[in-house]
Amino acid sequence: MDIQFTEEQELLRSSVQRLLRDQYGFDARRKIVTSEEGWSRKQWRVFAKLGLLGAPFSEDAGGLGGGPLSTMVIMHEFGRRLVIEPFVETVVLAGGLIEQLGSSDQKQYFVPDIIAGEKIWALAWTEKGARFDLASVTTSARRDGNDYVLSGEKTAVIAAPWADYLIVSARTSGHHHDRGGVSLFVVDRHAANLDLQSFKTIDGRRAAEISLRNVRAELLGGEGEGVAALEACRDRVIGALCAEAVGAMAELNATTLEYSKTRKQFGSTIGSFQVLQHRMVDMFIAHQEALSLMQHLSLSLSAGEAEISRLASGAKSKIGYAGRFVADQAVQLHGGMGMTDELNIGHYFKRISSINIQFGDPAFHMLRFAQLDAAA
Amino acid sequence: MELALSPEDAAFRDEVRAFIADNYPAEMRVANPETDLSKEQMLLWHRILYRKGWLAPLWPKEFGGPGWSITRRFIFEQETTRAGTMPPLAFSVTMVGPVIYTFGNDKQKQKFLPRILSGEDWWCQGYSEPGSGSDLATVRTKAVRDGDHYIVNGHKTWTTLAQHADWIFCLVRTDPTAKPQSGISFLLIDMKSPGVTVRPIITIDGSHEVNDVFLEDVRVPVENLIGEENKGWTYAKFLLGNERTSMAGIGRSTRYIDRLKKIVKAEIPADDPAHLEFVKEIARIELDVLALEATELRVVAQMARGIDPGPAASLFKIRGTEIFQNITEPTHRAIGNYGLAIREHPVSANHFMPGRDYGHTASEKYLNSRKLSIYGGSNEIQRNIIAKAVLGL
């Protein structure tokens, strides 16, 4: 099941690698993260110029037609370098939803600006008390002429402080948990009566609590299609987040292995201690399995297979647990140094922790994997 | 679970409990006492205990201890940790104090012990170095005799709360030709000495607890040497023994389990399948705590009969730290999407934090508790100790 990369995919990978090696070293990243804005528009434009922001879009939409496999290649490299810019939010989430649901007018209006690196997007689906349930929506949408008017609260929306547009899930009919009553809307992030309370996330990103009071919005897709669309969107973003997590695990393992060969205690390199050798073997195995599952998921997404949710949840759970194990042990084996803000190890740990929350934690997806078993 | 107490000890327990309830400063009940309190705030409870004569349970009466039995010391520890009080600074009270009254000379005892008790002096620990973590015997900080002074040069690291410290107790190498353990001395250094520099180390939770301490040509009077030159390793090991026995952390774990239960109840509806998963996980942790607590009570009962648990104390460090890590992880998970947020340090009301108050420290506690299996002798080292010294492997 090993992926034989096409020439284009190899080219994409090597060009992302080269770019990040030259421009996204750990110090450069730290400057970006600690800057006032917390992300780099300049870097974003470089990504656009290299074609990364258009890579997964279909050729019809003005993209390069690379689909989920190009997302996988990019996100794996982004994971290795802890890229902070909102590729997942803008390209995978919003871009994916617009391609899937948007009218041809909407696609023509929004997609070129995403590909050109002109506009940033964020997806506001979570609400207080909803945990990871896509259908648990109380934000309301009321028809008003050709538009809709939204009121409610959205919570922990990653990249919202950076965004030009939001995609917001809101209820057009039904009660609290009704799947069929949720629709998606495009909202101008700077619209009147939309308030943001920003905060920093554990992995150095920015997120916000969002309050909407009669905010003008444009329907994306049909009324009531929101939950089904978000489910498909979640499967895609799981592919991207798993690739990122696996990239982060690869770096953690490589760095820890290297450290164990140079760090000396008790007159020997710590890598010569059997208990740590076995630990690193388990880290290696965890990464290998995660890599395989991640590739399997990306190939299935790429083939457009139906009924992919069970595999996506399984991968999110398994890779989540594997990532947590690898990150825990990478910190442990680095000792005190692994605890410092100065070293990159803790930053990988935090990104993996954050990925494990986004769109459902490993325990949530394990249950979902069980529930989606047709045989059960 | 409780020790079987005599009526006198039971009365003592009630007295301790009431004293905490009546006297623990409300000011110290902040979201995360370990990172949010100023030096002055941390010393409030210290001073109250000092005035009561309860500051240093371990110390013999002649040096200002309360003269408690092992059982009473344990009761006091149990009551103070269960109530979530911030213990007086361990580096001063449980570490350097006992070294000074055990191995120091009369002049040192008279000079330092009263100032530790009163809270006048704040101590930090100069053990670890960049090349000497678990393998402490390889310390390279040098102390060279020059008349009635030592000239000290070196780099200490992971020095907890050195930013507040008046004094640092250091392991220094006084005989570079001897075997690693034999050439080490135990030296007390005034942090105001010229040549001492403190540099903060920010940890992954964003807080500033630990520091690098640089020592450049620091002149230290010979009278600040504890015991004999080149015998420092013996004193250092004595001190590490004190550190380990208090690491089971039953009181703290019990409080954090209660908090986790409260969060799970508020955040996850009972009909959500995730609820049962949390319930099972919490039960597993509670059983871990119960077993460790039973072990602790058994050991305390043995100690009261004069039996020294010896290196088995490493068990408390291993299990106590693993259990606390196993609590902070699901606590972080229980708050769902709010686990993405983390407080900015230094903590200020100006920074917005989303979600309910009980979740505001979940992220930083989860991250910060990674250190527990590393510090104070990593858990790998503790397992080596049990393998060698207990199992004879």
Domains of chain A: 7-118 (1.10.540.10), 122-224 (2.40.110.10), 228-371 (1.20.140.10)
B45-85 tens-digit pLDDT: 999 999 999 999 999 999 999 999 989 999 999 999 999 99
| A332 closest CB neighbour out of B128, B203, B373 | B373
Instruction: Check CB contact of A167 with chain B, cutoff 8 Å.
Output: no
In contact, B218 and B146? CB cutoff 8 Å = no
Instruction: Test B204 with A332 for CB contact under 8 angstroms.
Output: no
In contact, B205 and B346? CB cutoff 8 Å = no
What pLDDT is recorded for position B351? Answer: 86
Low-confidence ranges of chain B (pLDDT < 50): 244
Instruction: Check CB contact of A198 with chain B, cutoff 8 Å.
Output: yes
Which residue in the list B77, B243, B281, B293 is annotated as catalytic? B243
Among B140, B240, B132, which Cα is nearest to B183's?
Answer: B140
In contact, A335 and A327? CB cutoff 8 Å = no
Residue A51 CB coordination number (10 Å):
15
A 277-316 residues inside an 8 A Cβ radius of B: none
| B202 closest CB neighbour out of A265, A336, A341 | A341
Task: Report the mean per-residue pLDDT for chain A.
Answer: 96
A179-225 tens-digit pLDDT: 999 999 999 999 999 999 999 999 999 999 999 999 999 999 999 99
Q: Residue A216: enclosing H or E segment and its boundaries? A: strand A206-220
| Annotated catalytic residue B243 | yes
- How far is it, in rounded angstroms, from Cα B141 to Cα B171? 8
B242-255 tens-digit pLDDT: 654 567 999 999 99
In contact, A205 and A351? CB cutoff 8 Å = no
Extract the tokens encoding B34. Answer: 């370990």
Q: Where are the domains of chain B?
A: 7-88, 123-229, 247-390
What pLDDT is recorded for position B133? Answer: 85
Instruction: Test B352 with A335 for CB contact under 8 angstroms.
Output: no
Instruction: Check CB contact of A340 with chain B, cutoff 8 Å.
Output: yes
CATH architecture group of domain B123-229: Beta Barrel (2.40)
In contact, A365 and A320? CB cutoff 8 Å = yes
Residues of chain B neighbouring A132 (CB-CB closer than 8 A): 336-337
B150-175 tens-digit pLDDT: 999 999 999 999 999 999 999 999 99
Residues of chain B neighbouring A328 (CB-CB closer than 8 A): 370
Q: Is residue A228 exposed (0-12), middle (13-18) or buried (19+ Cβ within 10 Å)?
A: middle
Residues of chain B neighbouring A200 (CB-CB closer than 8 A): 341-342, 344
A194-200 and A182-188 as β-strands: parallel, antiparallel, unpaired? unpaired
| B352 closest CB neighbour out of A199, A340, A357 | A199
Phi, psi dihedrals of residue B166, rounded to the nearest 5°: -95, -30
| A266 closest CB neighbour out of B135, B344, B378 | B135
Domain B7-88 has CATH 3.40.50.2020: no
In contact, B322 and B369? CB cutoff 8 Å = no
Residue B43 CB coordination number (10 Å):
20
- How far is it, in rounded angstroms, from Cα B145 to Cα B171? 15
Residues of chain A neighbouring B348 (CB-CB closer than 8 A): none
Q: What percent of chain B has pLDDT over 70?
A: 98
- For B186-210, give the DSSP string: EEEEETTSTTEEEEEE-BTTS---E
Extract the tokens encoding B188. Answer: 């007390």
Instruction: Test B374 with A339 for CB contact under 8 angstroms.
Output: yes
Among A205, A338, A34, A364, which Cα is nearest to B367's?
Answer: A338
Among A59, A94, A86, A307, which Cα is nearest to A221's?
Answer: A94
B 186-245 residues inside an 8 A Cβ radius of A: 201-204, 206, 210
Buried b (16+ CB within 10 A) or exposed e, A116-139: ebebbbbbbbbbbebbbbbbbbbb
Residues of chain A neighbouring B383 (CB-CB closer than 8 A): 275
Domain B247-390 has CATH 3.40.30.10: no
Identify the sign of the CA torsion A24, A28, A34, A40. negative
Low-confidence ranges of chain A (pLDDT < 50): none
Among B13, B71, B21, which Cα is nearest to B48's?
Answer: B21
Distance (Å) from the alpha carbon of A9 to chain B's nearest alpha carbon: 32
Residues of chain A neighbouring B334 (CB-CB closer than 8 A): none
Q: Please name the residue ranges forming H helices in chain A.
A: 7-23, 26-34, 41-49, 67-81, 87, 96-101, 104-115, 226-262, 274-302, 309-334, 345-355, 362-371
> Is residue A131 classed as helix, strand or coil in its secondary structure?
coil
What pLDDT is recorded for position B242? Answer: 64
What pLDDT is recorded for position B300? Answer: 87
- How far is it, in rounded angstroms, from Cα A320 to Cα A242? 8
- How far is it, in rounded angstroms, from Cα B376 to Cα A115? 52
Residue of A nearest to B352 (CA): A199
> Is residue A58 classed as helix, strand or coil in its secondary structure?
coil
Q: Residue A169: enclosing H or E segment and its boundaries? A: strand A165-171
Instruction: Test B374 with A332 for CB contact under 8 angstroms.
Output: yes
User: Which own/partner pairs from B350-353 qualify as long-range (CB within 8 Å, at least 24 positions apart)?
Assistant: B351/A199, B352/A197, B352/A198, B352/A199, B352/A209, B353/A199
Residue of B nearest to A208 (CA): B354
Extract the tokens encoding A222. Answer: 């049909």
- How far is it, in rounded angstroms, from Cα B273 to Cα A3? 36
